[in-house]
Structure 1
Amino acid sequence: MNLRDYLLTVADSQSIEELWEAHVEKMAEFGFDRLLYGFTRYRTSTSLGDPSDFIILTNHSRAYTDVFLDEGHYFHAPMVRWALANEGAKSWKLLADMEQSKTLSPAERRVLEFNRDMGVTAGYSISFKSISARAKGAIALTARAGMDQAATDAIWAVHGRDITLMNNIVHLKIMTLPYTAPNRTLTVRQREVLEWVGDGKTTQDIALLMGLTSATVEKHLRLARDALAVETTAQAVMKAAFANQMFIVDA
């Protein structure tokens, strides 16, 4: 796919799945055949938030993600820690430098050894700029098997600026598309009542507008809160808005 067709596909994508498929294909042309994108809006000084609220996109194998993500290895990954403290692109040569200088913690070393066992040995990480202290997004680009870091760095020397630009564009596009985390799905009715709340309507107003009883509206709001794992309706509206699940076409 040439660059113009790729950018048109990115611009025209109506779903994250469509966007991600095109991006995976494009990055593979540069030798990066495994990608891992992550984004959170719930970062604090001690946590990245509930993992079930992350936006996670990857084409890594389940054997890799079941450990790296589900068992929490990402929290100790040196390149994840670099991404949290920095912006821009960084070669994974940093890992070899840390190993040589003996600055890896035991937890970081375990992650490094796991990655080596899984063939995740060379690549680049890109950390995206954010205007919110609580939001952070990054992507890890893993070089295909057989490519060492020196070969990866050589590719980056030629194409790195374009690759960084494309990943930033994809990140910004992801921020505009609806994303439903596992076990965070809203029904059409739940989404509709949240939209009316977002418009400033009371329960009685919503009941009249939707032709329902107030009790039924309250039920939909309660189920929406449960689905989004929040305590208040205001929190539900905010979380649904963050995930672009409100006021969308063909919900």
Structure 2
Amino acid sequence: MNLNEYLNQLSYVKTLEELWDAHCKQMAKYGFERLLYGYTRYRTETSLGDPEDFVILTNHCKEYMDGFLRDGLYFHAPMLKWALNNEGAASWRMISDMVSSGTMTKEERKVFEFNKSKGISVGYTISFNSVSMRSKGAISLAALNRSQEEIDTMWAEHGDNILLMNNVAHLKILTLPYNTPNRALTKRQREALEWVGDGKTTQDIALLMGLTSATVEKHLRLAREALSVETTAQAVLKASLQNQMFVMEA
């Protein structure tokens, strides 16, 4: 697909699965076979928030993701550090420059060696514009069996279009429902939270849902537990940020 065709397709997708499948196929046409998208709304000065709350989309294998994400290597990744302090696109050539200049920390070197062992050493990172101090999104585009020089040459010709496609994909992702298995709400939990967000009391909600007040309280408690928050107001906010509120049923 050309640029216009792809952007038109993105504008009509209704699920993350559909979007991600299309995006992986489109990026592969430019030589980027492995993608890793990440977004957090809970960044602080010393943390990116609970990994359970990250929006993570990838076509990397489970073995790679277990090492990079679950084992915490991501936190010391040189390109992630760059993304947290910059916006736009950057070549992974800067990693080889760090190796050559001897400026890598021990932790960064560990990430570099891990990625190298998995064939993830050539590519680009895109850091998206942040809408608040606590939010940050980025995507890594890894090329397999190519040199950084080849990818840099390709980027010189197509980089503007690739950057645009990724920026639009990122903005679309922010509008679509996303939850991890541990954060997913049931239909009843979501409905109860929606009525709370509409200003209804527990008694009101019980009447509207045809339940007892105790059952409504149970749904709200389970929603708080699922979202890992302490108050119902926090649950409403978090569910809303994850686009789990007022979703259209299939």
TM-score (norm 2): 0.98
Answer whether contact 1:89 1:124 (CA < 8 A) is retained: yes
Matched residues in 2 for 1:85 and 1:6: separation? 29
- How is 1:239-250 mapped onto 2 (pairs within 5 angstroms)? 239-250=238-249
Aligned to 2:14: 14
Matched residues in 1 for 2:63 and 2:51: separation? 18
Aligned to 1:129: 129
Aligned to 1:109: 109
- How is 1:10-89 mapped onto 2 (pairs within 5 angstroms)? 10-89=10-89
Matched residues in 2 for 1:2 and 1:158: separation? 14
Q: CA RMSD in A?
A: 0.9
Answer whether contact 2:123 2:143 (CA < 8 A) is retained: yes
State the SS of the aligned residue for 2:150: helix
Answer whether contact 1:42 1:48 (CA < 8 A) is retained: yes
Matched residues in 2 for 1:66 and 1:60: separation? 10
Letter in 1 for 2:151: T
Q: Does 1:202 align with 2:215?
A: no
Give the superposition deviation at 1:211: 1.6
Answer whether contact 2:3 2:165 (CA < 8 A) is retained: no
Letter in 2 for 1:236: A
Matched residues in 2 for 1:144 and 1:158: separation? 19
Aligned to 1:227: 226
Answer whether contact 1:52 1:182 (CA < 8 A) is retained: no
Matched residues in 2 for 1:51 and 1:41: separation? 11
Answer whether contact 1:225 1:236 (CA < 8 A) is retained: yes
Matched residues in 2 for 1:95 and 1:236: separation? 40
Matched residues in 2 for 1:167 and 1:193: separation? 35
Q: Deviations over 1:33-82 (max 9, x none)?
A: 10000000000000000001000000011121110011010000000000
Query: Would you identify which runs of 4 or more consecutive aligned residues in structure 1 move more than 6 Å?
Result: none
Give the superposition deviation at 1:100: 1.5
Give the superposition deviation at 1:180: 1.3
TM-score (norm 1): 0.98
State the SS of the aligned residue for 1:125: strand
Give the superposition deviation at 1:5: 2.7
